[in-house]
Amino acid sequence: MKKIKVLIGSNGGLTGVYLAKQFKKHDYIYVCGADSAKISAGKFFVEKQFELPNSNDSSFIEKLIVLLNREHIDIYLPTHSREIEAVSKNEDKLRKNTRARFIVSPKETFEALDDKVNMNREFQKAGISVPKLIEDFDCDYPIFMKRNLGSGSAGSLIIDNQSIHKAYAKTYNDLSFFELIKGDEYTLDCLFDREGNLIGYNQRKRLKTIGGAVRITQNSHNFDVSEYIKKIAESWKFCGCVNFQYIVKNGIPYFIDTNLRYPSGGLPLTVASGLDVPMLTVKMLTGERISKSDVNLVPNKKIMYRYFEEIFENEIN
């Protein structure tokens, strides 16, 4: 049987390493990785490692096409937010110039939801609860500050008073400010097919995080989000793995973030709970039909604990 050659983009991160480890459990998958960083733990988990420029580099798409064709890649899985956005914007060009299969949400969805302020306004228009957007200094403190674009928790801060609020707002132009919502925080991991149909989802509580990625997370299905997923999926087209974050306060979910990528940390729990996102994605991209029996997600209270593990080499190769 001919092996399926998979290339994992930005494979030095948590998601890239996890995907490589999952795929290597299957003899019929040959795992490759690509990253802009020469020093990366991802190289220890793949058969072949390649270097690509950063996804915001003007040469990224051209060099990606060369790599995909030269290495006869069957499936390409970008994992970083900016990498996925670049692929989405250049989807037609990639499909015309390579035989590699991939799945990303449309560029129109990125334009509507990748920007934190746009997402807040778009969700509000769709009748989905969101924290109030703070657009002036006449507000009740504390409030929550975060970068308008970006992944993880970099730039996120609770602002306690007007003077600090003004200082940040006048110094940086890429920050947004929101009503501070206090409550239990959840992530909703979803998988959509190429037509935008929902294949399955898992909801889990974020118990401990580091840099925005969860270290400890627990499945929690005592709050029904199905009507919200339906409303969101009817408003925008999603393809592949997408995750949403929300905080529940007084029985109402306030959606605070949309990530058009794999979740950075909690994906292993969703897979272990019966929604095998990596293998379902491979199945989808190889043209196999996904049936209801492929999704074995049963509501449970399973907990995932993440920890660091060390790898050593004598010098950088």
Mean pLDDT by 10 residues, the chain (317 residues): 93 95 97 94 96 96 98 98 97 98 97 94 96 95 89 79 95 93 95 96 94 90 89 96 95 95 94 96 95 88 93 82
pLDDT reported for residue 161: 95
Taken in order 255, 285, 93, 2, the sign of the CA dihedral is positive
Residue 151 pLDDT: 65
**What's the confidence (pLDDT) of residue 67?**
98
The neighbour count for residue 306, using CB atoms within 10 Å, is 18
Count of other CB atoms within 10 angstroms of residue 154: 10
Nearest to 170 by CA among 162, 160, 178: 162
Pairing of strands 213-219, 303-305: antiparallel
Predicted pLDDT at 12: 94
Distance from C-alpha of 236 to C-alpha of 125, rounded to nearest angstrom:
12
- pLDDT for 210 equals 86
C-alpha to C-alpha distance for 125 and 127, rounded to whole angstroms: 5
Token code pair at residue 264: 């950075």
pLDDT at 1: 66
In this prediction, residue 223 carries a pLDDT of 82
Whether 267 and 20 have beta carbons less than 8 Å apart is answered as: no
Q: Under a CB-based contact definition with an 8 Å cutoff, are residues 191 and 240 in contact?
A: yes
Task: Please give the Cα distance from 305 to 265 (Å, whole number).
Answer: 10
Residue type, 71: E
120: left (phi over 0), alpha (psi -120 to 50) or beta: alpha
Residue linked to tokens 């200082």: 167
User: What distance in Å separates the CA atoms of residue 214 and residue 202, rounded to the nearest whole number?
Assistant: 15
Check residue 294 and give its pLDDT: 92
The class of domain 182-305 in CATH terms is alpha beta
Sheet holding 175-179, edge to edge: 157-159, 143-147, 175-179
- Do residues 297 and 275 make contact, with C-beta atoms less than 8 angstroms apart? yes
Residue type at position 215: R
Domain spanning 4-102, CATH architecture: 3-Layer(aba) Sandwich (3.40)
pLDDT of residue 232: 95
Predicted confidence at residue 212, as pLDDT, reads 77
Residues 6+ apart with CB under 8 A from 140: none
Structural domain boundaries of the chain? 4-102, 132-179, 182-305
Q: What pLDDT was estimated at residue 121?
A: 96
Decide: 55 and 71 in contact? Cβ < 8 Å: no
pLDDT at 207: 95
Q: In whole angstroms, give the CA distance from residue 190 to residue 202.
A: 7
Find out whether 32 and 6 touch, Cβ atoms under 8 Å. yes
